[in-house]
Amino acid sequence: MEDTKIIDLYWRRDERAIAETDSKYGIYCHAVSMNILGVREDAEECVNDTYTRAWNAMPPERPGRLRLWLARITRNLSFNRWNRDRAQKRGGNMYVLLSELDECIPDPKGIEQIEDAKELGGIINAWLACLTEKDCTVFMRRYWAGESVTDIARSCGMSANALSQKLARMRRNLRKYLGEEGVAL
């Protein structure tokens, strides 16, 4: 079913909207959540919560790109779950993933110098636009979707070590770009 028809179902408060959403985007949302949480049951719960959030948000919202809108909700719910679980016990794949970005994303005190977190997002998006499509995809798969270096490397036809080095260069480049844009690191 087309996204516009799924969104129309939400707007009409037709419960088929959730079934159609799950049919079309359930596997994708589950993968996003699993890459962050690593626990199937937790990921399933976050995906179900995504559908509830979508139901409560439409109307009045009418997402332009339903797949990305759902992924953002799933990702945010998964990070919230991960943070809650991490408060109880440290560790896990996401801790490693986020620690890789520590060197180039400002700490919360530094963000005060930026008017708004959206401005930082805009700066990072401008940096991403400067990358090749392949590099942008690799960066987003690693740091937005939380995919493992091994999985990304395999799909790109390169070794995990080569991809790790490429990601390290990209992080250094991002750090340099943020500094040039006046972001306190």
Mean pLDDT of all residues in 141-157: 88
Nearest to 57 by CA among 82, 79, 77: 77
Contact 128/140 with Cβ under 8 angstroms? yes
pLDDT digits (tens, 9 = 90+) for 61-108: 899 999 989 999 999 899 888 777 765 554 455 555 655 666 666 555
3-state secondary structure of 156: helix
Contact 76/29 with Cβ under 8 angstroms? no
One-letter amino acid of 61:
E
Q: Which residues, 6+ apart, have CB-to-CB distance to 69 below 8 Å?
A: 54, 63
By CB neighbour count within 10 A (0-12 exposed, 13-18 middle, 19+ buried), where does 109 fall? exposed
- Considering the entire predicted model, what is its pTM? 0.59
pLDDT digits (tens, 9 = 90+) for 115-132: 456 677 788 889 999 999
Distance, CA of 77 to chain centre: 10
